[in-house]
Structure 1
C-alpha cells in the first residue's frame, strides 16, 4: 500500500503518525522502512531510531555523560540476588521496549528481593525478559525535542512538563494511570525556568535526542528528578510520540508543550517537520552510482561533487557501519583482485571500489572503517582506493595496471601493524615481498613454458609416425 502511494506521484511528502511497536498489530517501523526504500519524504523518526530498546538508550546517553539508573536485564529469576547485587531497592521492573508504557503496572515497583522475585517470574512468563532498574525517588516529567537550525546545537527543547497526578499517592506513571487520566492542568504543570534542575533537564533532553535519534524526527524524553541531589535522570525517549490529538480529548503532553511555548505553535512545528523531511530525503539520495565501464567491469562514480576530507561511507549519509572486503578467485596463479564495501549489518548493499595507486579516497581506520575523500572529487569521477590499505591479509598479490604516474606495478596486502613501526621498515618489508612474488612469478612462467614444450614435443613425435 505504501509503495503504491509513493509511486503514484500524487504526494510530495508523507506525514507519518504510525507508532506501532514490534509486538503490536499496528502500523509501525514497517511503514517507515517502506518509505525509506522508496526514498520518499516523510516526517518523524527514521527506521534506525524508531523503536530503540531501553538498554540501547541507556548506553547511548550514558556514554555521553547523562545519568541513567543502574539496571540489569534478566531472562529468568534464577540467582536473582547475585544478578541484582549492584542495585539498591526500591527497583522497578520494565519491558525492554518503551512504547505505550507496556507491562508497567502499579506493582512493578519492588521494595525488597521477595517482591522482585514474584514480579520477575510473572513478567518473564509474559514477555520472556525483565529489565530491572533502580527506582529514582523524586518528581517525574517529560520534555519534547526536535531538530531546529535556529536553536542551540540544532535542537529545540520545549519547556518540560511535570506530572501532578503523581501527588495523589502514585509515585510513577504506570500503564493504567497513564491511559485513564485526563490530560489537563490538574495532571501536569510546566517546570519553572528558575527550578535548579531546569538547565540540566534541557541539556539531558538535547543529548538524548542527538545521540539516540540522530536529530531525525521528534521525540519526547521521560525523566525523573532525584530527591537526594536534585539531579535529572534519563528514563527513556519516545520517538514519534503521540501528537495532534483533538482538543476535546485534551491533546497529549507533546501538544501541550508546543502550545505552551511562546515562540512556537503547531503550524511552526509542522512547517519545521516538513522542511526537515525534505532535507533528509535529499541526504538519503546516493552520492554515487554503479555501472559497467567499456571493458565490462564494475565502476562506481560520484553523482555529485565531494569536498576533500568528507566522510563518504559510515557517516550520517550512510549510517550503517561498513566493512571492506577483498574479492578474488581462489586458486588462480595471477588473480584479479576487487574490493567491495559492504554494510556491517549483513544486509546486501555492496559498493564496488577499484584500485588506484593514486586514489581519490582513503580509509580512516581499520577494516570496520570510514572512507574519506582524499581530495576534491568531481561529478562523474570514478571512486578509487589503494587496495594495499585494505588490511585484508587474505588478499593475494596482484599486478597493477591503473596507469597512474606513480603506479607500483605490484600490489601487496599490508597487514595491520602498530603505529610505532617506522616507514623504512614498512618499505623494506614490501620490497622483500615484491622480490619473492617476482621470483615466484618467474618460476611459474618457466614451469608453464616447459609444460607447453613437453606437450608440443609429444604431438610432434606422433606426426612422424
Structure 2
C-alpha cells in the first residue's frame, strides 16, 4: 500500500496501539515483554503516515477500563486499535479477552478475531483443524494426564519426537531436551515440563508430541483475511538456516537460544548468530505459499499471521508446523522473521502496518453491518441489477 494512499485513508483515525503488559520480577519474563524496539518502530511508522497515535499498555486487570476509555475518547477522530495483545491469559498476559471487549464496544481493530485466536492459542485444536482440512502436518498425539498415556507413543508417531506445550508463545517451554528418541527420554522431559518455567505454567492445555521433521525450516507471512481473497496476501517466504555447528536435533527455535537467555543451553561458537535468513529457491516458493494459504483457511485466519513450515530432507515433503495469530511485528529480523520476509519481499514496515490497518477497516464494515430484518413476503417484481 502506497504511503500517500495510506495517509488519505487513515487521516480520519487516531491509532491506539494496545500492547500486553505483565508485572514480573523475573528478568527472563521482563526481557520477553520488553517493547522498547517496538515503540521506536511505531514512532517512525506513524510519523511517516502523519497519524495521531498512542502507545497503550494493557493488563488483565485494566483492559476493560482501557478499552472503555478508548471507546469514549474525544479526540475528534475515530479510534482505530492496533491490537498487539497475544497472551494466553493463563499466566497473566491479556489476549482473547481484549478481542471480546473490542467487539463489545464495536471498535475497529487489527489482527485476529476470537475464532482465529482461540484456534491457534492452543496447538491442539490447530492441529485438529489442519487434519480436518487435509493440510499436510506431522503425525502427532496428545499426552494426557492419565497414567500410561505415553506408552507406545514413540512407535505410533515415529521417532524422533518433539514435545510441545499446547499453549506456548515465543517457544516458551521448548528446549533441545524436547527432542526425544525413546519412552524413557519422553517421560523424563514430560516430568520437567510439568514443573513449569520460572513459575510460568506450561500445562494450560496440556502437552502433545509430534514427529520431529529433520530438514530445512521456512517461514511465511500473510496479511488480510482468508475469506477476502482479493486482499489476502502471502509475502515471499524465507529459509531459516540454523548454525552449521548444531546437530539436526537442535536445529529449531528453542527458548534459550531464541531469546539469548542460556539458562540450560549454550550460545553459538564465536558468539555467531543462532540462525540466519536466506531467500528460498524459486521452484519451492509456490508450494510454500499454497500450503500457507491452506493452513490459514483451515484456521479461519483473520488479520495477519506467521506460518512455520518444515521440509523432510529425505522426501522433500512439506509439513505445516503452526500458524501464529497475533505474531510479533517488526522490520528488524533480529526480533522477528517478519523483518526478513519484508526485506526479501521489498516491502517497508510502514507499508505492511498500513495494510494491516486497512484490513481492519474492511472487516469493520462487514462486522458492524446491521442484520437485515425479515420482511413480509411481497409479490415478485422484476430484478434490478445492483452496480
What TM-score, normalized to structure 2? 0.67
Change (3 A) 1:110 1:14: same
Tell me, yes or no, if the aligned pair for 1:200 and 1:231 is still in contact at 8 Å. Answer: no
Q: 1:179 corresponds to which residue?
A: 259
Asked whether 1:67 is paired with 2:136, we answer yes
Q: How far apart are 1:251 and its partner, in Å? A: 4.2
| Bigger radius of gyration | 1
Q: Identify which of 285, 291, 299 aligns with 1:198.
A: 285
Q: Give the whole-Å Cα distance in 2 for the aligned partners of 1:192 and 1:29.
A: 34
Structure 2 unaligned segments of length 5 or more: list them: 1-65, 197-201, 261-266
Report how far residue 27 of structure 1 moved.
2.8
Match 1:89 to one of 155, 159, 170: 159
Give the match for residue 189 of structure 1.
Answer: 277
> TM-score by structure 1 length?
0.57
SS in 2 for 1:177: helix
**What is the Cα deviation at residue 172 of structure 1?**
1.5
Q: 1:148 and 1:114, CA in 2 relative to 1: closer, same or farther beyond 3 A?
A: closer
1:177–1:58 distance in 2 versus 1, CA, 3 Å: same
Q: Which residue of 2 aligns with 1:218?
A: 304
SS of 2:277 mapped into structure 1? strand
Unpaired runs of at least 5, structure 1: 290-300, 303-353, 361-374, 377-465
2:68 maps to 3
CA RMSD of aligned residues (A): 3.1
- 1-side partners of 2:213 and 2:67: how far apart? 42
Alignment of 1:103-114 (within 5 A): 103-114=173-184
Q: How far did 1:74 drift?
A: 1.3
Q: Give the secondary-structure state (helix, strand or coil) at the position aligned to 1:199.
A: helix
Contact 1:92–1:109 (Cα < 8 Å) also in 2: yes
Change (3 A) 1:257 1:101: same
Contact preservation (8 Å) 1:45, 1:213 = no
Greater relative contact order (Cα < 8 A, sep 6+): 2
Partners of 1:188 and 1:120 lie apart in 2 by: 30
For each residue in 1:96-129, what CA deviation from the matched residue of structure 2 results, as whole angstroms up to 9, or x when unmatched?
1242112101100001121112122332454443
Asked if the contact 1:15–1:43 (Cα under 8 Å) also holds between the matched residues in 2, the reply is yes
Aligned residues of 2:223 and 2:355 also touching (Cα < 8 A): no
3-state SS of 1:159 partner: coil
Taking a change above 3 Å as real, the CA distance of residues 152 and 287 of structure 1, as seen in their structure-2 partners, is closer
Equivalents in 1 of 2:378, 2:190: separation in Å? Answer: 57
Q: Which residue of 1 aligns with 2:213?
A: 136
Superposed displacement of residue 185, structure 1: 8.1
Secondary structure in 2 matching 1:242: coil
**Does the C-alpha gap of structure 1 residues 250 and 71 become closer, same or farther in structure 2, counting only changes over 3 Å?**
closer
